[in-house]
Chains A and B, each alone.
Chain A
Amino acid sequence: MDPKKAESWLRVTSKGLFCEPGDFFIDPTSGSSRAVITHGHGDHARPNHHAVLATPGTLAIMRSRFGENAGRSLQALPYGETIRLGGVSVTLVPAGHILGSAQVVMEYQGCRVVVSGDYKRRPDATCPPFEPQPCDIFVTEATFALPVFRHPEDTAEIDKLLHSVRLFPERSHVVGVYALGKCQRVLSLLRRQGYEEPVYIHGALEALCDLYEKEGVALGPLKPVLGVSKEALKGKIVLAPPSANTDRWSRRLPEPVVAMASGWMRVRQRAKQGGVELPLVISDHADWDELTQTIDEVKPSEIWVTHGREEALIRHATLKGYKARALSLIGFDEEGQ
């Protein structure tokens, strides 16, 4: 097949990637007539679409976050099932990023395009693993697309946290986590490593932890921080949104050791700037090795790289003999020619 042809039916608009024959956007940046949503994070799932197509998990997250405004009609498409939209067959396949996260597989006129959405390749008990899909065009994320981003083993990072908890029994450990995904992932990793004590959570994390539990992801005993004495929080692990440690909220904690769970923690200067004392390199995105290995597995004829560090991934793919371009240029350069 000629990947050039894909550009006749997929193009980048100001709202994001648009599939013309299917008449839908993928993760549009504002309300649209029809949206296919890869996952529930705020920069991908936005409120006020007319029709939304997503996995049941993602829809549950959108309902929880946006309530009435999640979309006028919400259609659930379980993993692996295919639906036809205006001649385009659409399948959602696990992306391994967070609960409900999916790659969007589109087939039209013999051309198969996969939009990875955000993804990772490591085991994560909170969602099914990424399934590589051979394709003609692979639209890949590039959040950590620099060869310095190679995430260490999760177990080593959790050990670091547990070691610090043992070393400073008179202090609390407050781990900065995003409310959706990272929070539940860290909890599940702690449990996997045998940590059975209650974990104290900031109020802003409660709703999504409840949702994960309802979706069948066990997180172990959780307690709200609110109303717990300083004394009782000594030696405990507290999860909170990343900004909470500079917030007056943190004054209720006994001498907190400020930890942060994020792929960006790989770079020391980043961690230090944020006042982080215990950086935990735990990411829900593919690292450099995963990004490059996945390309080799799906063997696309062409790679379109979404926002992030496009230039490095394009450079690498080109050196390896792939055709690669920045997604931001797709559809724009065509008109100029």
Chain B
Amino acid sequence: MNRFAALLDGLVFTPSRNGKLRLMTDYFATTPDPERGWALAALTGDLNFREAKAGQIRELVLARVDPELFGWSYDFVGDLAETVSLIWPTPEKVDVLPTPGLAEIVEKLRSTRRGDVGVLMAGWLDALDASGRWALLKLVTGGLRVGVSARLAKTALAELGKVDLDRIEEVWHGLEAPYEALFAWLDGRAPKPEVGDRPTFSPLMLANPIEAEELVALDPAAYFAEWKWDGIRVQLVSRGAEKRLYSRTGDDVGRAFPDILESVPDGVVLDGELLVLREGEVAPFNDLQQRLNRKLASAKMLSDFPAWVRLYDMLEAEGEDLRPLPLSERRVRLENWYRAGTRPRLDLSPLIAFSSWEELGELRDGARERGIEGLMLKRKDWAYVSGRPKGPWFKWKRGALTLDTVLMYAQRGHGKRSSFYSDYTFGVWRDGELVPVGKAYFGFTDEELLLLDKWVRNNTTNRYGPVREVSPGLVLEVAFDSVHRSTRHKSGVAMRFPRIHRIRWDKPHPEADTLETLSKLVT
């Protein structure tokens, strides 16, 4: 447990992805089974206890600590698990209690009746040190919140075993904690685990971005074109008796979408876009966000934000792996299958007829009003290959919108950027005043960052902790994908994916754009 606690501690404080990976890889390489497997399950969110509630923990601690002192401490620390972990009085004879291992904790919690969990917890809290107590409390009350996604944990496994992440993804959902067979394979002691007919995730085939100039070298007749839908990519799997809805990174998101899962027919693996549709029209991405933000969907959510999957590929049918077939054949199989039955909550992403890139370009430009992001181009003769192969699939996004804004505030970054003012809040003019409209922290080079940082330091008018207010004077050309109405922002609008496009050292700031201009771009 101490090693697991140290790992969590490290992960909480390490901002960089590479740093987190290093910590996890080191932990997995040096921790025995089944301890590391349970730790992995905790990190990927596959370990859930509902035994201990915050109230129970509070009761345990108040039986040991003066309530007044506990109250002041909680006020100071601000987090219940952390306060309890720090304040828990260490019993006199600490050496007689062995430190529990993570595996022991998991097994005992699973076999203990809810009413007896308190006694168990108290014994462990006595035996562990402050870090260990914190890890235990985070584990049993749910939500580690150490800034690690399941994907990142699996990436650490890939580094550990020096295998491709996709090879792990394709078996992951067929395995269970504590993953001993998986580690045996990664350690090189056993072959890759067999997962039979479990509803596993098949790593997706992804597209590369392309621009109009590059298209001229390609033969339009060799490609299918589809709209690039503004939802999230998903994979629907129905194999054996089980059904799953996976995100593009292989996270199981099915619990939030019972409406989709219910309507998946047996024996297929489908690739498509998860969207909220109303009478066949794609609702704004924000609507889908409402559904994505929730772990479970209420009846009201289900009827207000009806989810659909718009299909574009078929990877498996009746146990037959279709991935080796060329796309043109897979498309025929998909369409035939789709028409062979009623398919509630599923529809087909239509193919767009075109004969030249110019013609397709015009269609693309005309699609902005419909909230479409751009086009997908897919070679008809390619098999379905996981990863991002160069050549077969392209995304041809419509040009970004841009706006000339004025830099208003800059904040120091984190990690490598701790000494740089690298997060910029920018505004546009409204009645002679600047209103902040967004924040961006990428889109510039390291050299430009040096210059921006210097400019911020030389033009500071006020300081608020890590934030500096600057005098208006620097124009930032900001690129963004779209603008939406927002009640959360003072300006009433919010940009999607804003980034610094160009630094307009040359442009006088009074000539920057107005809020009115920005509002006209709202979709």
Contact = CB atoms under 8 A, between A and B. Distances in A.
Given A275-B414, A277-B15, A269 B65 contact: no
With a 10 A CB-CB cut-off, give which of A152, A168, A267, A319 has the most chain B CB atoms.
Answer: A267
B416 interface: yes
A245 B23 contact: no
B19 A272 contact: no
B70 to A, nearest CB: 8
Nearest to B83: A148
Nearest to B6: A160
Interface in B1-60: 6, 10, 12-15, 19, 22-23, 26
A272 B13 contact: yes
Given A267-B76, A271-B13, A277 B19 contact: yes
A246 interface: yes
Contacts of A87: none
Contacts of A146: 69, 72-73, 76
A245 B417 CA distance: 10
A43 interface: no
Given A245-B418, A315-B69, A278 B79 contact: no
Interface string B60-89: 000001101110110011110011001100
A316 interface: yes
Contact of B86 (A150, A255, A315): A150
A167 interface: yes
A147 interface: yes
A272 B419 contact: no
A152 B130 contact: yes
A250 interface: yes
Measured as residues with beta carbon below 8 angstroms from the partner, the interface class of chain A is 35 or more
A247 B87 CA distance: 35
Specify which of A164, A266, A275 lies most central, judged by the most chain B CB atoms within 10 Å of its CB: A275
Contact of A258 (B26, B130, B412, B418): B418
A234 to B, nearest CB: 15
Contacts of A149: 86
A269 B418 contact: no
Given A152-B130, A250-B419, A272-B12, A312 B72 contact: yes
Contacts of B280: none
Contacts of A272: 12-13
A250 B414 CA distance: 13
A250 B412 CA distance: 13
A148 B412 CA distance: 30
A276 B77 CA distance: 17
A269 B19 contact: no
Interface string A127-165: 000000000000000000011111010000000100010
A147 B418 contact: no
B68 A255 contact: no
A279 interface: yes
Interface in A27-77: none
A309 B71 CA distance: 13
Given A167-B23, A168-B22, A276-B13, A148 B68 contact: no
A275 B83 CA distance: 21
Interface string A223-253: 0000000000000000000000111111100
B129 interface: yes
Contacts of B412: 246, 275
B141 to A, nearest CB: 16
A107 interface: no
B98 interface: no
Nearest to A259: B13
B115 interface: no
A269 B79 CA distance: 9
Contacts of B209: none
Interface in B454-476: 466
A168 B18 CA distance: 10
B196 interface: no
Nearest to A168: B22
Given A146-B72, A147-B87, A277 B13 contact: yes
B87 A277 contact: no
A255 B72 contact: no
Given A146-B72, A147-B69, A277-B14, A255 B79 contact: no
Identify the 7 closest CB pairs spanning chains A and B, nearest first: A148-B86, A148-B73, A250-B419, A147-B87, A277-B13, A148-B87, A146-B73
22 contacts: A146-B72, A148-B73, A148-B76, A148-B77, A148-B87, A150-B130, A167-B23, A245-B419, A246-B418, A246-B419, A250-B418, A266-B86, A267-B76, A267-B86, A269-B78, A269-B82, A272-B12, A275-B418, A277-B13, A277-B14, A312-B69, A315-B69
